[in-house]
Amino acid sequence: MEPETLNLILRIISAVIVLVITYFLSKHARLSFEKSLSRFGTGFASKFAEIARYFIIFMGAVIAISILSLDVMAISIIGAVIFILVLVSMRDIFLNMAAELYLAIRRPFKENDWIRVGDVEGVVKSIGGIDTELITYDGDLVIIPNSFFLRHPVINKSQSIARRIEFKLMMPRMDLDRVKETVQEVMKEIKPELLGDPELISIKETGDKVEVIMSLPIVNLRKLRWLSAKIVKAYHARGIDVEIE
Amino acid sequence: MSISVIFPTKNRAHYVKRAVRTAFKAHRVEEVIVIDGGSMDDTIRIAEREGAKVIVQSDLIYPGKGIAMRDGAYLASCDILVYLDIDIRNVTPEFIEKLAEPIISGQAEFVKGCFERAAGRVTELVAKPLLRMFYPELAKFRQPLSGEIAGLRKLFYKVEFERGWGVDVGLLIDFYKLGARIVERDIGYKDHDMKPLHALTDMAYEVAAAILRRAIRDQKVDPRWAEKYMSGVRAMDLGLESERGFV
Amino acid sequence: MRVLLIGGGHSAYFAARAIREIDPDGHLIIIEFTREKVEMLSRTFPSAEVLFQEIDRVEDYIKENSELLDAVIAATESDSLNLRYCRVARENAVPITVSILNNPLNYEIFKKEKINYIIDPYRVITIQLFEILGAPVNVVFSSLVNNLEIASVRILNEKLLHELRSALDKHDDVIAAFVSRTGEISSSPSSVSLGGSAYIMGPREKIEKLLQLSRNVVMR
């Protein structure tokens, strides 16, 4: 066998060995990254580990090519261009990963919290690697990309299990004692749906109407509409038409 | 129709990978459930890694086979449930397909698997004589205690699961009482560990108790007689038998 | 509050009693799968709405009523059912989802499913035995609702006492009560001698750090 052929075979064998070692190294690195980064969320850890793995394989391929003594310069340039293009195309993924990391470390909200972000307000149904699902007051499912949370402030309204909601009722002018009496009756009627006692905040006359403000401790905010209807119905049964603001 | 395959198990790390993978290969299988009886080995970890849904049975009593089977049925979401022992060394996807086939074809709602071997000692000496006495229609089954069964999921919510070894015969009787069509399917040779003789005493007692409880429920036997008989079996177990009869 | 309690066994009975105690006028709905138990529960909890449902109809009930339900408490005798029902409640954004475990070994499985609150009724066995048998550290209470944790630490050597004092000095949000060997209780670490215990209370991560510190000192 000619020395040149032998040399080529040796180089091919070396390149293959480098590739094999790189493959196993990348696999090991992926597992290590997954394990060590799992505290930031499994989704984030696995994505980061996957990117690290491809990076190691890419580097191994460059080394293998250099062993084969091909035109390393040209191949490296092509490789670098491809790498940059891949990075650019993965911009959104990186943005979402940054957002996921932010959500994992900062924990601005958790599942079942009532939050407001941008124009959307609702209960957090699930926090995923790419997006977060909210259920709004109207029962609609809204899917928000996690990167949205990097650009918009989050208001977390779930300070405790129940939130106090103020209801303003407008009813026709009548004797204030009668108003107070009906408010107490209606509050008693809706109490089984609340966590704690409803409170009467104020009663005042405004023009030809009476304005009543009451505060209700509510756990499930999606119940608001149903509760409003129940209050209107309770007044209607007493022959009083009310409007709720 | 989709199939859930359920494996009640405990400390069977060596078998779980093959069992779960084989189950997923069977036609129409959409989920595999491993119900663990409190394993100390890697059974749970391996089952989860292989994509099985895993839960530990609600009560860690021995024998808790019935509780494991009940929890499996309650966790499942497919139309047909297929139960298999996890330690069948020669398990193939065909085992599952053969068990589910009569249900898919509309021929039955409950299928009992049977094997190419003589029925066990508890089957021949306890289950069959008692079934012949109280449920003669079910005495025709070659292996009424077989744990390889398939059935419509919704029907499993209407039957009573015995907690221990009596569960298989209990389900057979309850499905029969529900009016379900039951067939027995030969699923070939089953290569698995046999129970030692001493372990069969408890099993025999529980099988007898399961049949008798149902015979009482279905008014096939005087409850006072059955209770005396059952306490007698317990007394024999404890060595309390006296000359006057059971104490 | 409108609470759906599922199950009619032992755990469900105590859950129903607790709900009634905290919210006597609340809307309590109990779902059971056997008619005999439904009758019994109706007699035991006359102000509750007790419903008979088939096992695989409960999920539909939760979905249909999720807008009005404030809490779903799964307390059946099967952890499989508890997991199923809590999963549906969570998916339908019921604000409070509670599962009462039958088998504590299922804790991690439920946690992975992101169930809000997982109650392990058997946890008390460990806590009480640790206290009776004098375990070096014992997590006595860990709140499911907020970040509070209470733990006890046995003061086995001077070094541990010293480390504990300096750690308590550093953290304003960690407070402690000390129990001497003779049973006297004091808030001052100086009154504690070896063999006594410290009950520390504060944010979970800080308590865990202190416990780790104690474990390290004991190990040495």
- C128 vs C108: CA distance, rounded Å: 22
Lowest mean pLDDT among A52-66, B60-74, B75-89, B139-153: A52-66
- C90 vs C71: CA distance, rounded Å: 10
Picking from B34, B41, B58, B217 by the largest number of C CB atoms within 10 A of its own CB, the best residue to mutate is B58
- A197 vs A187: CA distance, rounded Å: 8
Which of the four pLDDT bands, split at 50, 70 and 90, describes residue A43?
Answer: low
A198/A219 same-domain check: yes
**Which residues of chain A does C71 touch, with a Cβ-Cβ cutoff of 8 Å?**
219
Q: Report the pLDDT averaged over residues A50-55.
A: 80
A133/A167 same-domain check: no
Which of the four pLDDT bands, split at 50, 70 and 90, describes residue B233?
Answer: low
Predicted confidence (pLDDT) at residue B240 exceeds the cutoff of 60: no
pLDDT tens-digit series, residues C106-139 = 999 999 888 889 999 999 999 999 999 988 899 9
Q: Which of B38, B60, B74 is opposite residue C80, by nearest beta carbon?
A: B74
**Which residues of chain A does C25 touch, with a Cβ-Cβ cutoff of 8 Å?**
191-192
Domain of residue A206, CATH code? 3.30.70.380
C-alpha closest to that of B168 among B159, B180, B179, B157: B159
Predicted confidence (pLDDT) at residue A2 exceeds the cutoff of 80: no
Helices (H) and strands (E) in chain C, counts: 8, 11
Task: In chain C, list all ranges with CATH 3.40.50.720.
Answer: 2-121
A167/A147 same-domain check: no
Residue B118: predicted pLDDT: 60
CA distances from B91 to A140, B18, B54, B97, B147 (A): 47, 8, 20, 12, 14
Token pair 């008989």 is found at: B229
Torsion sign across C-alpha atoms C153, C141, C181, C184: positive
- C154 vs C121: CA distance, rounded Å: 25
Domain of residue B187, CATH code? 3.90.550.10
Backbone angles phi, psi at A161, to 5 degrees: -60, -45
A220/A168 same-domain check: yes
C-alpha closest to that of C13 among C70, C56, C76, C57: C76
Residues with pLDDT less than 70, chain C: 218-220
Tally of CB atoms within 10 A around B124: 11
The residues near B187 (Cβ < 8 Å, ≥ 6 apart) are B94, B95, B98, B99, B113, B114, B115, B148
Ordered strands of the C27-32 beta sheet: C49-52, C27-32, C2-6, C71-74, C96-100, C117-119
CA distances from C179 to C127, C185, C187, C189 (A): 17, 5, 9, 9
Number of domains chain B is built from: 1
Closest-CA distance, B173 to chain C, in angstroms, reads 19
Predicted confidence (pLDDT) at residue A233 exceeds the cutoff of 60: yes
Q: Say whether C80 and B157 touch across the interface (CB within 8 A).
A: no
Are C137 and C216 spatial neighbours (Cβ–Cβ below 8 Å)? no
Lowest mean pLDDT among A103-107, A224-228, B76-80: A103-107
Closest-CA distance, C71 to chain A, in angstroms, reads 8
pLDDT tens-digit series, residues B75-91 = 999 999 999 988 887 78
Closest-CA distance, A231 to chain C, in angstroms, reads 15
Range of the domain at A114: 108-156
Q: Is C54 on the interface with B (CB under 8 A)?
A: yes
- Residue C118, helix vs strand vs coil: strand
Task: Give B194's DSSP letter.
Answer: P
Number of domains chain A is built from: 3
Q: Is C68 on the interface with A (CB under 8 A)?
A: yes
Residue A162: predicted pLDDT: 75
**Which residues of chain A does C94 touch, with a Cβ-Cβ cutoff of 8 Å?**
220
Are A46 and A34 spatial neighbours (Cβ–Cβ below 8 Å)? yes
Q: Report the pLDDT averaged over residues B167-185.
A: 93
Residue A213: predicted pLDDT: 92
Which of the four pLDDT bands, split at 50, 70 and 90, describes residue A206?
Answer: confident
A219/A177 same-domain check: yes
Range of the domain at B97: 3-246
A35/A79 same-domain check: yes
- B52 vs B12: CA distance, rounded Å: 14
Q: What percent of chain A has pLDDT over 90?
A: 8
Average pLDDT of the residues of chain A: 81
pLDDT tens-digit series, residues B109-167 = 999 988 776 667 888 888 888 999 899 999 888 888 888 999 999 999 999 999 988 99
Tally of CB atoms within 10 A around A44: 22
In a domain, A99, yes or no: no
The pTM score is 0.77
In a domain, A101, yes or no: no
In a domain, A213, yes or no: yes
A85/A121 same-domain check: no
Domain of residue A122, CATH code? 2.30.30.60
Task: Give B62's DSSP letter.
Answer: S
pLDDT tens-digit series, residues A115-145 = 888 888 888 888 887 788 888 767 788 898 8
The larger pLDDT score, comparing residue A67 to residue C84, is at C84
The residues near A155 (Cβ < 8 Å, ≥ 6 apart) are A115, A116, A117
Report the CATH fold assignment for C124-219.
Alpha-Beta Plaits (3.30.70)
Are A220 and C69 spatial neighbours (Cβ–Cβ below 8 Å)? yes
Q: Say whether C54 and B157 touch across the interface (CB within 8 A).
A: yes
**C2-121: CATH number:** 3.40.50.720
Q: Say whether B75 and C84 touch across the interface (CB within 8 A).
A: yes
A84/A112 same-domain check: no
Beta pairing, strands C27-32 & C49-52? parallel
* Chain A residue whose CA is closest to C91: A125
